[in-house]
Each structure stands twice: as C-alpha cells, then as structure tokens.
Structure 1
Amino acid sequence: MMDSPSRPKLFDFHGVSMTSSFTDNWETVQNFQARPDDVVIATYPKSGTTWVSYILDLLYFGQMSPERQNTIPIYERVPFLEITESGPNIHSLIFLMSLPTTPRLIKTHLPVQFVPKSFWGQNCRMVYVARNAKDNMVSSFHFARMNSYIPEPGDWNSHFQKFLAGKMLFGSWYDHVNCWWKKKQTYSNLHYMFYEDLVEDTGREIDKLCSFLSLSPSAEEKTRVMSEVKFDNMKNNAMTNYSAKPGMNFEISPFLRKGIVGDWKNHFTVAQNEEFNEDYKKKMKDPTLQFRTEI
C-alpha cells in the first residue's frame, strides 16, 4: 500500500491558524482585483459552502447552460479564492481569472479581516453561511479524517479540544462567525444565513437569497433548483460530491456525509457537552447572534 502524503502542519499566521496551501500565494490573493458584480460565498469550513455554492450556481446559470452542470465540477464553477493546489503556481485564481460567467461566483473560508480589500472597495455582494459549532465540529472531524490536504484531526477527543482552543485551519469558529456578524452591521451588501435555517426550509432561504441578489426565478425554475440541491441528489452527483477530487478518501468518509442538524449528539459525551456549553457561554457574548443546535 502506498504511503499517504504527509499531512500539512498548522502555523500561526497573523493570529490565525493556517497551512501553507492557503498562505503561499498571499500577496497575489490580497491584490486580487474584484469586479462590482462578483458574488462571494464566505464560510467557516464545513458550514454548507458547497450547498450554497450550488444553489447560487443554479440560480444564475442553471437555465442558461445546463451542460455546465453536467461537465464542470462545482469547485471549478465556484473557485476557492485562497487555495494553492500544489506549488505556488497552480492556483485557484487561474480558474477564477478564466471564469466565463458573469457574475463570477467565488468561494472563501477567510476570516473577514483577511478578505482582499478590493471586494469591499467594489461593494461586492457577500453571502456568509454559518453553522452551529457542535455540528461544525463533528463535520470538520470527519472531513479532516478523509482529506489528506489538511492537518490530521487525531482522535475525537483531541479534535474536540483543538476546536475549543481555535487550533483549527482558518482559526477559531467563534472568531470567524462573530467577526463576519459584526461586519454585517457596517457593510450592507452582506447576507448572513444559517445552515440550520436552510435545512429547516430550503425554499424560504432560497427566496431570501434571491431577494438579496435581485434574482427572480420562475416557480418552475425554483422547483428545479430545490430538487437539484436536495442532499441525496448532491451526494449522488459526481459534479457536486467531490468524488473526482484527488486527496480525499471516500472509504473513510464521504465529502457530503449526512447534511443534518444535531449529529453532534452521536459524538459528544455528556461531559464534553457540559464543557462545550460552559466554554461557549464565555466566547459568544453577542446576544444578537443566536445558533440552533437542533431543529
């Protein structure tokens, strides 16, 4: 059996835990020239990024170019702004620069303070998706187990402690969701949405997205989008399930695993839940930002 490539290590980068895959091309990313019609999908990893990327891609281009849906994987349709695939020259920005679509849909996991300035300067629309910390922790654990491009999670208990300490790729969940929420107060072109709301009523959340983006799909179009973005359909769709992406071991865990709210109950011990809840109270001080851990 071939040895798996050695996993990258986290290091402190301007106060945020990162790996070199996301910092190698830092200057190029920071100097990225946004266009006023760019739409950015921003998330802390494992918060529904692919789901919302696919929803937006279908809303904008589903009718216009159906062959795009069947032949181009989602990670090429919605490129990942800051990733360097292998070596400083092979970069997601190459896909981004050559995107034939208007608007360009761009994905990022960057904390708000790292987002290239031109996005704010051009007043680009930003869609931020947040997911409750307990389910996010579980999802990121299984993702790290199967993805050789990110650091080893260790066992569940050590992952749990790392998450509480913010020693995660892209830093602390608490900082990420709070700072993007705070940005919403001063930047009006930011739509902040919750994974739990999307699971509870996908149609309602798609309506809110359409209203934010000034889109008006027909009833028929909306029905089609709703069907395409159902979890099982995405899980079985080779263009959205990441099965063509190297470095991911689907025998350990699929990229799209369960897509539910409340799976944390299958992982947290009673003691861990108590420890988590105490820690959460200390870190989540803003009463206007509320998450649901079950629906």
Structure 2
Amino acid sequence: MATEKDAVIREELGSLHGMPFHKSFMEGWPQVEAFQARPDDLLIATYPKSGTTWLSEILDMIYHDGDVEKCRRDVIYNRVPFLEMKVPGMLSAPRPAGVEQLEKTPSPRLVKTHLPIHLLPTSFQDKGCKVIYMARNPKDVVISYYYFYQMAKLHPDPGTLAEFLETFLAGKAAYGSWYEHVRGWWDKRQEKWLLYLFYEDMKKDPQREVRKILQFLGREVSEGTVARILHHTSFQEMKKNPAANYETIPTSMMDHNLSPFLRKGISGDWKNHFTVAQNERFDEHYRQHMAGSDLVFQMEV
C-alpha cells in the first residue's frame, strides 16, 4: 500500500501563481501567505542551490557569538526553519511544516525561503524585517541543482544534464526562472532592510562578506569570533558536520549515494560539465534575459 511519504517522491511539480512549485508545498500555501513575521525575524532568501545552507550556518554562528557547540545542538533545518516547506513524513517522524515550526521557535528567529520577492508574505515588509539575499551565477546553479534533483527525491526525475539544462533555461525547475528571481530581489537592493550578497564574493573573501553581514545586523564581534565563524562555516568543516550536511535525512528522501547534499562548494564547476555548444547556448540565453540589467555575475572565481 502506498504511504503518504511515498506520494511525494518524484512527483511532478505543480504551479503556484505561474511558478513551478512542489505540490506538497502548495498544500500549505494559505498558511505561508498568511504567515505573521516578527519584527526581529531575519530572513535568508535565495534561489535554490545558491549557498543557502552556508549562509544559514554563518548567521546561526553570528547569532550564537561563534559558539560552535550551540550551533551543533541541532540540525540546520531546525535551527533555520524553511518557511514554505511542507513534506509529510520527510524525517523518521513527520516533520512539521515550516510555518508550524516557526510558530514554536523563540525570537529572534532565522527564517529560510526560496520564494521570489513577489510571493514573499507581506508581513516581512510590514514588520520591517531584515532580509539577506544571496545570489550565485546561473551556470553553477544549474549544475548544483541537477545533482540536487537527483538526490532529493521530492523533485521530479531530472533526466540527463542536457534535458535538465533545458528545464532550467525554460524556467520550469522548482521556483521558476532564475533570472526573474535574482532580478526581482536586485531591484530592491537599495532598501535599508535588504542586504544583497553574491556567492562568488563569499568564496573570494569570506571575512569581508561576514564583516558586511555584521555591519548590516549592527553587531560587533571580536576578531577571534570572526575567525571561529569562518573556520566552522568552511566547506570542509560543514561537509563533515552532521548538523549541517543533511545526512540525518533518510535515504528514502535524500540519497547521498547519488550525490552528497554538500557536493563541491566551489565556483566554476560548470566548466567540468558543459559542452562547448551548451556553454554557447547558455551564454546567448543569458544575454537575452539579462539585457537592460546592471546585475553582473562572476561565472568563476
């Protein structure tokens, strides 16, 4: 007999206001849309596979003044609840929906979302919440997303890389068009409540970017604390940390044998995957869809 858990595995995506979206997430959309933010909430927003877990771990470390043990007390998806997540039976015990989880989380809360800005619950701006958005170059995003689709069985079967590349370029991957996502948030970058970061800048100079975050949050920490944060949130440390690497999620939902959740954490991996023809096609598509925007990405570091 099929179980509720089986029902969400490899299910085709639905559509939420025209955006490709997990059907199980759509069931909880009325609660997400009506979500009541608190003024001291900090929202972490990204398009999928853009350094979300990395940024979440950095912020949790900042919120706990660099105390590594406090940041290992629980898995990252409990420390930073995923707002729109609703997946029956995702863990050994049914995992509460993101909204339910957040309602039980004491302030100040860290909140994660992949929603484009036009679908963000209005209470975040009504309450004046701060938001940190991190964007990553699309060539690396599509490669990382392809491997994630393979291992995270909530997604439809991605097919071959060539097939998934077409899915991505057509804006048919979960959360829709990368272009609309990064540009939508970029258009609000002058707002005092938003800090817009780039994955590639974080790779090049993590200390500078962490300092930028601290300034945005109005926090002062010692050099020693910054050093601890940088060490604990390095890819090598996070990859071996069960509280950050998602290995606690059952293989029935995330198969780390197909691809680890934290796979490479580098910039420029697309060069190991794209053919010359695929790269040329991507470049032309990028030029067309980013025309008229002053948003610029580094395709490698």
Q: TM-score, with normalisation over the residues of structure 2?
A: 0.92
Counterpart CA distance in 2 for 1:211 and 1:66 is 21
Counterpart CA distance in 2 for 1:157 and 1:283 is 20
Give me the identity figure in percent: 46
CA displacement at 1:134 relative to structure 2? 0.1
Report the secondary structure of 2:296's partner residue: coil
Whichever residue aligns with residue 286 of structure 2, its letter is: Y
Give CA deviations for 1:42-93 in whole Å, capped at 9, x if unaligned.
Answer: 0000000000000000001145x65432220011000000010218993122
- Aligned residue in 1 for 2:286: 280
Give CA deviations for 1:225-244 in whole Å, capped at 9, x if unaligned.
Answer: 01000101000000000000
Task: List runs of 5+ in structure 2 lacking aligned partners.
Answer: none
- Aligned residue in 1 for 2:214: 210
Counterpart CA distance in 2 for 1:294 and 1:66 is 30
- Aligned residue in 2 for 1:224: 228
1:110-189 to structure 2, matched below 5 A, reads 110-185=115-190, 187-189=191-193
Question: Which residue of 83, 86, 99 corresponds with 1:84?
Answer: 86
**Cα RMSD, aligned residues only:** 1.8
Question: Which residue of 256, 268, 271 corresponds with 1:265?
Answer: 271
Aligned length: 290
- Aligned residue in 1 for 2:74: 72
- Aligned residue in 1 for 2:104: 98
Assess if the C-alpha contact under 8 Å between 1:7 and 1:148 holds in 2.
Answer: yes
Counterpart CA distance in 2 for 1:52 and 1:90 is 23
CA displacement at 1:12 relative to structure 2? 2.4
Whichever residue aligns with residue 238 of structure 2, its letter is: M
Counterpart CA distance in 2 for 1:25 and 1:160 is 29
Task: List runs of 5+ in structure 1 lacking aligned partners.
Answer: none
Whichever residue aligns with residue 135 of structure 1, its letter is: D
Counterpart CA distance in 2 for 1:286 and 1:52 is 29
Whichever residue aligns with residue 57 of structure 2, its letter is: Y
Counterpart CA distance in 2 for 1:26 and 1:94 is 12
Assess if the C-alpha contact under 8 Å between 1:62 and 1:69 holds in 2.
Answer: no
Q: TM-score, with normalisation over the residues of structure 1?
A: 0.94
Structure 2 residue 28 is matched with structure 1 residue 30? no
